[in-house]
Amino acid sequence: MVDPFAPAELGPVTLRNRIIKAATFEGRTPHRVVTDELIHFHRAVAAGGVGMSTVAYCAISREGTTDGHQIVLAEEAVDGLRRLTDAIHVEGAAASAQIGHAGPVANPAGTRRPALAPSRFFTPFMRRTKAMTDGDFDRVIEDFARGTRIATESGFDALEIHLGHNYLLSSFLSPKLNKRNDGWGGSLENRARFPREVVRVVRKAAGQKVALIAKLNMDDGAAGGFRPEESLRFAKMLQDDGSLDALELTGGSSLLNPMYLFRGPAPRREFAATLPPVMRFGFRVVGGLLFRSYPFEEAYFRDTARAFKDALDIPVIVLGGINRLETIRGALDEGFAFVAMARALLSDPRLVNKMRDGESFVSPCDHRNRCLPTIYSGIRCPLPTAD
């Protein structure tokens, strides 16, 4: 049996245990730099016992944020990022930064730039994307390299490249969103070309002392999108490229089907209440289609992820509504290298220590997703049991 609480190797980094705080946007960076509130958020999770806490979402440019309010990996962010990584390290955990570009998920009103995508199309909120040009490819790749250097300079032990949820790199993999007829579209090999190049550039910029993870969609959860068969083929390409230390497997589309990632009831009314009045009518029109409810089942990505774990030599991180110590032990015993948790730790940041010490074996999270509407105002658990 694998001990969840024993030290484990993640590439060049040793984590104190096999439980990772997954990336979930904290909503605590209104001016694109670290705040004391963000430091407190991650320090609490680190003090609660995780092996590594992942900071989300760190954009490689303002253009790459979803709405202009995420951390941008620029020189002015370094001092705050160092305070953040120092705080996580003081509590004994490693620090990871999720890095990426939002692409078609971005709202131009906040980013002040057109939303980049493989092809031109209208999003569900009737925003038109801009198909990337040769100049855009060069600029974005350089932004990834620069952002990587900023993150490593700031003391992060690991970087997680966002290849999921139909953010920019994920959108290139999707046959539904990528309609290009040049060398960046068509076959899977062509659609994979840009994401693979970014991964190689990030590894080169990061060096060999930082662990490199890719958060990869197995399934977009949208008709005509990226599916597990192609995703596994792409995962083998990444493995063969030799740049990664682990894969974290996910699913769903922030653009087309966000609840496929979270499962459980969709809090549509609560989401609508967070929007400006002018946007609420539009949300009522598309909200029922975009925010679908799915039955919740613990470890809901595990069944699909098994095929990846069995076919790959690279370590695989499993996530998806994991609540119980029994589930963590089971996933590790069948060969997953690490387990990532998000809502379970939001509802109780001290859960890992409680599990280790025998005080608790299950998270208080009810997975009714009432935390999700708080994502842009400082994500928090509404349950009275939350710390």
Which residues form the catalytic set? 167
Residue 9, SS3 per DSSP: strand
Which residues are within 8 A (CB) of 9 and not within 5 positions of it... i.e. 6 or more apart?
15
Report yes or no: 316 and 231 within 8 Å, Cβ to Cβ.
Answer: no
Report yes or no: 54 and 97 within 8 Å, Cβ to Cβ.
Answer: yes
CA distance 108 to 269: 24
Q: Which of 266, 254, 158 is nearest to 212 (CA)?
A: 158
Single-letter code of the amino acid located at 351: L
Distance (Å) of CA 11 to CA 103, 148, 159, 216 = 29, 17, 11, 18
Q: Is the peptide bond before 57 cis (omega within 30 degrees of 0)?
A: yes
